[in-house]
Amino acid sequence: MLAPDRLGTALEALHAAADADFRDSLGPRYGIVAPTALGVPMAALKAIARTLGRDHALAQALWESGIYEARLLASLVGDPAQVTPGLMDAWRAGFDNWGVCDTLCFNLFDKAADAPAMVAPWIALNAEFGRRAGLALLACLALHDRKLKDDWFREQLAMAQTAASDSRHLVKKSVSWALRSVAHRNATLHGEVVAMAERLAASDDRTARWIAADVLRDIRRPNVLKKIGL
């Protein structure tokens, strides 16, 4: 149950931290179309979240407000232990820009117990932000969940490859992000991503070739190779 005035307190803090210039830069600078945005930078959102603490009822109320930054704040105060597949699907259906999509996956969804089970079904979706959510969640799990096994990532790589011909900008960028993140985990997965990227590079599909170039440019950098012991 949401405690009295918790939502009001959070919204007041967001309005107090709003910066009109930052709001106006979201589209031109970051490609984020968010009509409800107030203009609160992420550093300020994190500071507000620290004052609020974990409060899942508040996170739900923030999400339901529809305000761009309130939804980002929900990712910081939500309780991963209370994030169910139903909630993930419901919120994912409301993703309408990459900022909300990636932030929810990075800060909250990837910590939920059922997160791995959501990846493949979301990648299989045709909706732009539905598919991006699956790929973003894969990238975030690769970056943050050290308990997942290589075999699980191999299965997801096959799913990611099915999206490699999707020319929509936000999808192809997320395919690259997912492949790069998996490759950064260890030498074995790095080699498998290299092999996949080389196959994509030989494809007749322009999008697949773009993804391959983007991935290989990143994962062949000396600092990446050193990190995984190559």
Residues 46-77 pLDDT 10s: 999 999 999 999 999 999 999 999 999 999 99
pLDDT value of position 13: 98
Do 20 and 112 sit in the same domain of this protein? no
Whole-number Å distance between alpha carbons of 212 and 161: 11
Q: Are residues 72 and 116 part of one domain?
A: no
Range of the domain at 189: 103-230
pLDDT in tens, 117-173: 999 999 999 999 999 999 999 999 999 999 999 999 999 999 999 999 999 999 999
pTM exceeds 0.85, yes or no: yes
Distance (Å, whole) CA 63 – CA 18: 18
Dump the DSSP string for 116-171. HHHHHHHHT--SHHHHHHHHHHHHHHHHH-TTS-HHHHHHHHHHHHHTTT---HHH
Residues 147, 51, single domain; the answer is no
- The closest of 117, 87, 121 to 104, measured between CA atoms, is 87
Report the number of distinct structural domains present in the chain. Answer: 2
Same-domain status, 72 and 111: no
Same-domain status, 69 and 124: no
